[in-house]
């Protein structure tokens, strides 16, 4: 998830295409890899560290597979690669910047070499990251964008592309003629949600007959919040055929609202969880964008080792105007037809019995 202005998106698309090659190769060779699956989907050849490296990690929360999967990917890959994760902390919610400041300061006193920052907000981190960089700490933007040039690199997604891809998917599924899609933009201050909603809206404008009605920005990432808002939007727009939400929890709320109102409306969303499978099967969820956060976590460890040891950093590029270089991971839209061909337990859904408390 990275901030990408319009002139820069075409450059990022190239990185997405490169990553997609690896995903396609994994899917086409699934049987051959069944015994020893490639946890990197062909994107990189893993290395084992020859120099010590100590990681500190802070993410927004552990309430969904995205952040939990990222933390799991970092911890598990660190063990495999011979480096150490000193601390994993959570901010608790989007907007809890001060909590992350305290966590980062604690990690600094513990002598970390690498900070993985899954920021709770887009702005406000530049001063503390500057102090880390001056102390020789490597900073990685984990998963979502942070507005600072004091970042060594990011391992992220193209959030605009996720939204635009879901709009293309809806366009391909709608019947000829006018169709209306409702949109829940997501929480205020969450740049990733803003980019997804913007990508969906702008790409929908290119689809003949598809119009978008956006709900208010704000609220929690919570099923009950989404259920109430979605129900209100459906009441005001009884002719709507589609619903977009930037992530799965809001998507589940929209699905519940549609079922309560007995409306036939197809939801599209993002983030893979166990809850999407029955929803895909019964058609209430039309399409779900993947967010391979376990893969992201593993890539962060591997790229940090490579940077620390002066090894090549394949596909890590800084487009013109970007604040820091980034690796864009691939995503695809899962449907009822293809969901069981995708290696979600390798890339998106962490082991059910894994927890931060067990790690610590």
Is there a single domain that holds both residue 150 and residue 257? Answer: no
Query: How remote is the C-alpha of 287 from its chain's centroid?
Result: 16
Is there a single domain that holds both residue 306 and residue 248? Answer: no
Is there a single domain that holds both residue 153 and residue 10? Answer: yes
Is there a single domain that holds both residue 308 and residue 283? Answer: no
pTM across the whole model: 0.85
Give Cα separations from 131 to 59, 103, 168 (angstroms): 19, 14, 43
Which CATH number is 107's domain given? 3.40.50.2300
206 part of a folded domain: yes
The structural domain count of the chain equals 2
Range of the domain at 199: 159-289
Query: How remote is the C-alpha of 225 from its chain's centroid?
Result: 21
Spatial separation of the C-alpha atoms in residues 200 and 194, rounded to whole Å: 10
Spatial separation of the C-alpha atoms in residues 97 and 91, rounded to whole Å: 7
Is there a single domain that holds both residue 118 and residue 147? Answer: yes
Closest by alpha carbon to 66, among 355, 282, 348, 268?
Answer: 348
246 part of a folded domain: yes
End-of-domain residue from the set 267, 289, 311: 289
Is there a single domain that holds both residue 234 and residue 301? Answer: no
Residue 326, helix vs strand vs coil: strand
Is there a single domain that holds both residue 224 and residue 183? Answer: yes
112 part of a folded domain: yes
Is there a single domain that holds both residue 15 and residue 121? Answer: yes
342 part of a folded domain: no
Is there a single domain that holds both residue 14 and residue 127? Answer: yes
Is there a single domain that holds both residue 40 and residue 23? Answer: yes
184-210 burial by CB neighbour count: b if 16+ within 10 A, else e?
bbbbebbbbbbbbbebbbebbeebeeb
pLDDT tens-digit profile, the chain (360 residues) = 333 333 333 333 444 444 444 454 445 444 444 466 899 999 999 999 999 999 999 999 998 899 999 999 999 999 999 999 999 999 998 899 999 999 999 999 999 999 999 999 999 999 999 999 999 999 999 998 899 999 999 999 999 999 999 999 999 999 999 999 999 999 988 889 999 999 999 999 999 999 999 999 999 899 999 999 999 999 999 999 999 999 999 999 999 999 999 999 999 999 999 989 999 999 999 999 999 999 999 999 999 999 999 999 999 988 777 899 999 998 999 999 999 999 999 999 999 889 877 666
Is there a single domain that holds both residue 208 and residue 231? Answer: yes
89 part of a folded domain: yes
Is there a single domain that holds both residue 43 and residue 128? Answer: yes
In sequence order, which residues have a C-beta less than 8 Å from that of residue 304 and are 6 or more positions away? Answer: 53, 55, 83, 114, 138, 140
């Amino acid at each position: 998830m990275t901030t990408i202005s319009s002139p820069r998106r075409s450059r990022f698309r190239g990185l997405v295409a490169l990553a997609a090659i690896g995903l396609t190769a994994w899917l086409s060779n699934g049987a051959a890899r069944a015994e020893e699956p490639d946890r990197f989907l062909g994107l990189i050849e893993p290395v084992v560290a020859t120099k010590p490296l100590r990681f500190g990690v802070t993410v927004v929360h552990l309430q969904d597979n995205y952040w939990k999967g990222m933390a799991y990917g970092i911890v598990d890959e660190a063990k495999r690669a011979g480096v150490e994760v000193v601390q994993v902390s959570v901010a608790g919610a989007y907007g809890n910047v001060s909590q992350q400041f305290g966590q980062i300061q604690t990690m600094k006193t513990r002598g970390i070499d690498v900070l993985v920052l899954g920021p709770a907000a887009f702005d406000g981190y530049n001063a503390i990251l500057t102090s880390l960089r001056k102390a020789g700490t490597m900073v990685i933007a984990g998963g979502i964008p942070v507005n600072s040039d004091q970042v060594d690199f990011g391992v992220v997604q193209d959030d605009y592309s996720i939204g635009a891809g879901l709009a293309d998917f809806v366009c391909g599924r709608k019947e000829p003629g006018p169709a209306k899609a409702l949109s829940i933009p997501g929480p205020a201050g969450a740049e990733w949600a803003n980019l997804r909603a913007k990508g969906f809206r702008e790409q929908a404008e290119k689809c003949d007959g598809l119009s978008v009605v956006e709900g208010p920005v704000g609220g929690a990432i919570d099923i009950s919040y989404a259920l109430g808002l979605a129900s209100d939007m459906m009441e005001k727009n009884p002719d709507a055929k589609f619903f977009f939400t930037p992530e799965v929890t809001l998507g589940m709320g929209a699905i519940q609202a549609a079922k309560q109102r007995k409306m036939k409306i197809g939801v599209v969303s993002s983030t893979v969880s166990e809850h999407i499978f029955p929803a895909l099967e019964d058609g209430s969820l039309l399409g779900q964008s993947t967010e391979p956060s376990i893969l992201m976590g593993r890539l962060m460890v591997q790229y940090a080792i490579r940077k620390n040891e002066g090894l090549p950093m394949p596909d890590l590029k800084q487009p013109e105007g970007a604040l820091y270089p980034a690796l864009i991971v691939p995503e695809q839209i899962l449907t009822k037809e293809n969901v069981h061909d995708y290696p979600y337990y390798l890339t998106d859904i962490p082991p059910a019995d894994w927890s931060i408390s067990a790690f610590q």
